[in-house]
Each structure stands twice: as structure tokens, then as C-alpha cells.
Amino acid sequence: MHKLSLDFLKVTEAAAVASLPWVGTGEKNSADDAATTAMREMLNQVNMNGTVVIGEGELDEAPMLYIGEKLGNGSEPKIDIAVDPIEGTTPTVNGQGNANAVIAAAPKGTLLHAPDMYMEKIAVGPKAIGKIDIDAPLIDNIKAVASANGKSLSELNVYVQDRDRHKGYIDTIREAGGKVHLFSEGDVTYSIATCLEIGNVDMVIGIGGAPEGVVSAVGIKCLGGEMQARLLPRNEEEADRCRKMGLANPETALRHNDLVSSDDCIFAATGITENILLNGIKVSPEGNYLVNSVLLNGEDKQLRFIESLYLKNRIA
């Protein structure tokens, strides 16, 4: 499986390069279409029997990279794929930072199949594995992570997406003396950062997209951190969609292994616009693109930052 790493790198690079013309245009649909088309084209060239398990939507609502779509040339291995061609469409089309093209893959049957809905998530780095419990009160988790990371509560840096729905979390963290860092978009990047020595991210907590949750869980698995989650169906219809995907109790706690159960997994991300993990694509005066990516796999657990130069006359 890890032998396909470079193929997945090309997939996220293609999606990011295809997004670039849409940076700052305000055209969300066009940006997503361009990235999705490019990602799908590349995925179909990979030697694999792939199935989208986390995609751009369900069969009836997404024309490409929908859940259940078969990808690749059909040869072994059989792979589950989670995609987000643009993780951060809003910042992309608003010309702001925090957008990446991301993908995660793992052997068939080892990734959570989840609809596109909200999910509560906790992500921590390697020092805090075994210390979090999504069923426990947030205050207990904060204290456990501070202690595992060798910090006092006042030294703890918790990253939370800037949304009204997170007021309760923010108040609890601050009342406990912890530092809250609000970010506007892109919880995958911050979740991965919990495992790296950048930004001093001790913990990410909050409610975001379930697709982004599964993609993050793979990246964190590759880096030896931990993630736990809980799907949050907002009505019976959403709960039904979960059940149809095999989740008998949609609101049950999802431990890291429920999100991704194999170590033989791959995570790739390419920067579209600047973020704490990656530089955005830079265009040289000659029109060449400098493209930055991160490539992780759960087998050798190495972290690879890869810089590619897309020459002007080779850019589609």
C-alpha cells in the first residue's frame, strides 16, 4: 500500500494546481469542480481497485468522487479512499490562507464510512495517546492532555474553529486557565499539527465535518497521535444515512480504530494557500508553480515534505 504514496502525492498536487486559477474569484462551485475533476483523473491512473468511502457527497448529490465511486485501473490492492479536493473552499475563493488539497487511503474495510455531516472531534499528539476520552467531560480531557504534554493548564494551547457552536468549549478551556486559539477554516491542518512541533498545538477540539475527521484520523495515525470522534446527526434523516452506512448507533463514541483501523494507510496534502503546515502554491515570474506537499504513511511513519516545480509548459 505504501508503495502507492507517490501516486497519491500526484493526486493532491493535481487538485491544488487545478484550484489555483480560482483563488480569490469568489466562485466556490467552479473551484471545487476544477479540483475534483483533476483529482479524479489522477486517481483513475493509479494501479488500484479503489472505492471512495468519504467523498464530495452521496451518489445523488455529487457527480464526481461520490461515495461508492470506483477509482483506479481495477488491479490490486483494494483500497478505501477519503478525499477532500479542496479542504477550505471558502478561504480559497476568498484569497485567504488555510486551504489544502487532501486525501487519505487505507486497505478496503479499514476506513469509517460516514456521510457528510457534523462530527465532534478531539485530536492530540503522540505524548497524549491513551489519555483522551470523548465520553469524558472536556475539563477532564484538558487536564489529561496538559499533564501528558508536561504543561500547566496555563501553558496548554487548544485550537478551536471560530464558530458560535463552540462557545461552550471555549468558555470551559479559558475558565480552566488554558489558551484558546481560534482558526477560521481547515481543521485537518490543525489536527495534523498536534503531532508536529509547529504552532505548539496541544489539542484540537470542536465540531466540524465528518469527512475532514476521517482524513485527519489517518494523518494522525501515521504520526502516532490520537483522535476520537462522535457523529452528530441533526435529524432523523441524517441518523438514517448513518445507519445505511453500517453505523447501528450513529452517536456512539468513535475511537481512533473506528475511524481508521489499519496502520497501512497513506495521507497526502498539498498546499493551495498558505497554512501552518504548508506553503501555498507560488507562481514564479516565468509562470512556473512551486508546489508544497506533505506525505505520510503509517508503515514507516516518516514525515516527508515534498516540493515540486510544475513547469509552465507542462501545466494543463
Which one of residues 84, 185, 187, 226 is an interface residue with Mg ion (CB under 5 A)? 84
Report the distance separating Cα 251 and Cα 229, nearest Å.
9
Classify residue 18 by burial, with Cβ atoms within 10 Å: 0-12, 13-18, 19+. Answer: buried
271 binds ligand VTB (CB under 6 A): no
Of 181, 221, 245, 212, nearest to 119 (Cα)? 212
Helix (H) or strand (E) holding 180: strand 179-183
Cell of 88: 477550505
Beta-ladder partners of 291: 308
Measured from the CB atom, the residue of 84 and 202 that comes closer to Mg ion is 84
Count Cβ neighbours within 10 Å for each residue of 115-124 and write b for 16 or more, e otherwise: bbbbbbbbbb
Closest alpha carbon to 178 in 199, 160, 193? 160
**Residue positions forming the annotated binding site for Mn(2+):** 32, 56, 84, 87, 212
Q: How far is the CB of 299 from Mg ion (least distance, A)?
A: 26
Contacts of ligand VTB in 29-88 (CB under 6 A): 87-88
Our finding on whether 23 is near Mg ion (CB under 5 A) is no
Residue 163 touches ligand VTB, criterion: CB under 6 A: yes
CB of 210 to ligand VTB, least distance (A): 8
Quote the least distance from Cβ 51 to Mg ion, whole Å: 19
Neighbours of 49 (CB within 10 A): 16
Binding residues: 32, 56, 84, 87, 212
- Rounded to a whole number, what is the distance in angstroms from the first to the last CA of the chain? 28
Q: Which is nearer to ligand VTB, 13 or 87 (CB)?
A: 87
For the CB of residue 55, give the shortest distance to ligand VTB in the complex, in Å.
Answer: 14
| Residue 212 within binding range of ligand VTB, rule CB under 6 A | yes
* Nearest CB to Mg ion, comparing residues 5 and 98: 98
Let me know: does 80 contact 105? Beta carbons within 8 Å. yes
46/9 Cα distance (integer angstroms): 11
160: helix, strand or coil: strand
Q: Find the binding residues for ligand VTB in span 187-206 (CB under 6 A).
A: 187-188
C-beta separation of 264 from 2 below 8 A: yes
Query: Of the listed pieces 48-56, 75-83, 181-189, 268-276, which binds ligand VTB according to CB under 6 A?
Result: 181-189
Residue closer to ligand VTB, measured from CB, 88 or 125:
88
Among 67, 86, 106, 291, binds Mg ion (CB under 5 A): 86
The minimum distance between CB 32 and Mg ion, in angstroms, equals 6
Minimum CB separation of residue 119 from ligand VTB in Å reads: 8
- H or E element in which residue 267 lies: strand 266-273
Residue 185 engages ligand VTB in binding (rule: CB under 6 A) = yes
Q: Which residue has the cell 457552536?
A: 165
Q: Which residues bind Mg ion (CB under 5 A)?
A: 84, 86-87
Q: Which residues bind ligand VTB (CB under 6 A)?
A: 87-88, 163, 185-188, 208-209, 212
